């Protein structure tokens, strides 16, 4: 499977989508088994009791759900508040929410409370940037002043009419939601399902092909089977083990049969480059502790650069904490999706 291909399927009665680049699975979206709130969903909630010692408050959501908001300033119990689901919740825990709403389209993101116009830095053509600026100014004419706009990098290959329509749709939705703050807890905007996520988030660069068909017909099932195995093969016979526990995700890198002086650094670089993809596809987040293959301390600077470059383009917020006294490497990745093992289940 050559090129950038999006495969749309159903996993049982749930939507599913896979992004494959030159035969390698790069991203995956599967709707959850239950009706759990999807990241990006916007609710009108009611501020509940504060959580002492954790710097946040609980928020009552519809259908008996509870959100946890890491903000207490200016909020009082019983106050209605607009919140957006910012991640996934572990079983038995409150849904993480934020008051920093984002209204995302395929080409535009509306940012209430963060005014201004920003065009993706990945768009370098100055004439195109000028055209996009004029288009955005026209589309945002008459919008509230505190409503900001970000034009995404996918605009570089898009038709102006499609971009303008996307801006207007997001603008109108944002204005309607921001004016609907009073009332009882209610779902105002549903989070994107798997097919919507693929259409919106995998548009840059534009796919060479979008296929609607069974995962099994395109080798996706075998790729998912490989993700069920903690062992990840690396070039040169090396491998790493990716094993989640309740407290953290443990990663162990091994050189295999290669005993050359450069074997450790080569294995560690290969593991560092593939680690973001493995965490993304497996739906793993939180604290990640990596036991790299033994190597001289002078090589750590090289590996640091590789890690920073590898995680630079990740959509999930990641903090690279660095090396511990025991020679382990720590990072923290935001849980932006459910673990793959919780999504798959038995196929209907």
Question: Could you read off the pLDDT of 307-331 as tens digits, one per residue?
Answer: 999 999 898 899 999 999 999 999 9
Q: Which CATH superfamily is domain 42-98 in?
A: Nucleic acid-binding proteins (2.40.50.140)
Instruction: Look at residue 237 and tell me whether its pLDDT is greater than 70.
Output: yes
Q: Does CATH place domain 103-192 in 3.30.230.10? A: yes
At residue 261, the pLDDT reads 84
pLDDT tens for each residue of 73-110: 888 899 999 999 998 877 778 999 999 999 999 999 99
Q: What is the mean pLDDT of the chain?
A: 93
Given a cut of 90, is residue 67 above it in pLDDT? Answer: yes
Q: What pLDDT does residue 348 have?
A: 40
Domain edges within the chain: 1-31+193-227, 42-98, 103-192, 228-344
User: How far is it, in rounded angstroms, from Cα 39 to Cα 26?
Assistant: 20
User: Is 299's pLDDT higher than 80?
Assistant: yes
Residue 347 has pLDDT above 60, yes or no: no
Which class for 44: exposed (0-12), middle (13-18), buried (19 or more C-beta within 10 A)?
Answer: buried
pLDDT band at 269 (very low <50, low <70, confident <90, very high): very high
Average pLDDT (216-227) is 92
Count the helices and strands in the chain (H runs, E runs): 7, 20
What's the pTM? 0.88
For 153-175, the pLDDT digits (tens) are 999 999 999 999 999 999 999 99
CA distances from 19 to 34, 177, 223, 293 (A): 23, 32, 11, 31
Residues 6+ apart with CB under 8 A from 342: 32, 33, 283
Q: What is the CATH number of domain 228-344?
A: 3.40.630
CATH architecture assignment, domain 1-31+193-227: 2-Layer Sandwich (3.30)
Q: At 73, phi and psi to the nearest 5?
A: -65, 125
Q: Where are the alpha helices (DSSP H) in the chain?
A: 126-139, 160-178, 194-201, 220-227, 263-282, 300-312, 340-344
Angle at 335 between CA 28 and CA 40, to 5 degrees: 75
Report the pLDDT averaged over residues 10-19: 92
């Amino acid at each position: 499977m050559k090129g950038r291909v999006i495969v749309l399927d159903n996993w049982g009665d749930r939507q599913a989508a896979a992004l494959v680049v030159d035969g390698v699975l790069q991203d995956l979206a599967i709707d959850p088994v239950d009706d759990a709130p999807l990241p990006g969903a916007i609710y009108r909630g009611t501020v509940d009791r504060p959580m002492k010692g954790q710097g946040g408050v609980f928020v009552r959501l519809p259908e008996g759900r509870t959100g946890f908001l890491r903000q207490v300033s200016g909020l009082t119990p019983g106050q209605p508040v607009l919140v957006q689901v910012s991640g996934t919740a572990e079983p038995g825990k409150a849904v993480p929410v934020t008051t920093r709403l984002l209204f995302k389209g395929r080409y535009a993101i509306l940012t209430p409370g963060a005014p201004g116009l920003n065009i993706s830095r990945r768009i370098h053509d100055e004439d195109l940037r000028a055209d996009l600026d004029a288009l955005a100014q026209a589309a945002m004419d008459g919008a509230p002043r505190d409503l900001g706009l970000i034009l995404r990098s996918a605009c570089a290959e898009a038709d102006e009419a499609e971009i303008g329509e996307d801006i207007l749709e997001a603008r109108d939705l944002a204005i309607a939601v921001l004016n609907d703050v009073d009332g009882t807890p209610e779902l105002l905007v549903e989070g994107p399902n798997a097919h919507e996520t693929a259409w919106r988030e995998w548009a840059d660069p534009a796919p060479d092909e979008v296929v609607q068909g069974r995962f099994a017909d395109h080798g996706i099932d075998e790729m998912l089977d490989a993700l069920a195995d903690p062992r990840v093969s690396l070039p040169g016979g090396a491998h790493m083990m990716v094993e989640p526990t309740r407290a953290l995700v443990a990663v162990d890198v091994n050189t295999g049969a290669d005993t050359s002086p450069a074997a450790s650094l080569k294995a560690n670089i290969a593991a560092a480059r593939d680690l973001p993809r493995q965490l993304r596809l497996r739906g793993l987040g939180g604290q990640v502790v990596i036991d790299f293959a033994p190597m001289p301390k002078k090589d750590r600077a090289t590996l640091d650069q590789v890690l920073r470059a590898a995680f630079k383009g990740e959509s999930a917020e990641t903090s690279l904490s660095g090396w511990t006294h025991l020679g382990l490497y720590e990072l923290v990745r935001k849980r932006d999706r459910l673990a793959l093992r919780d999504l798959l289940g038995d196929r209907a």
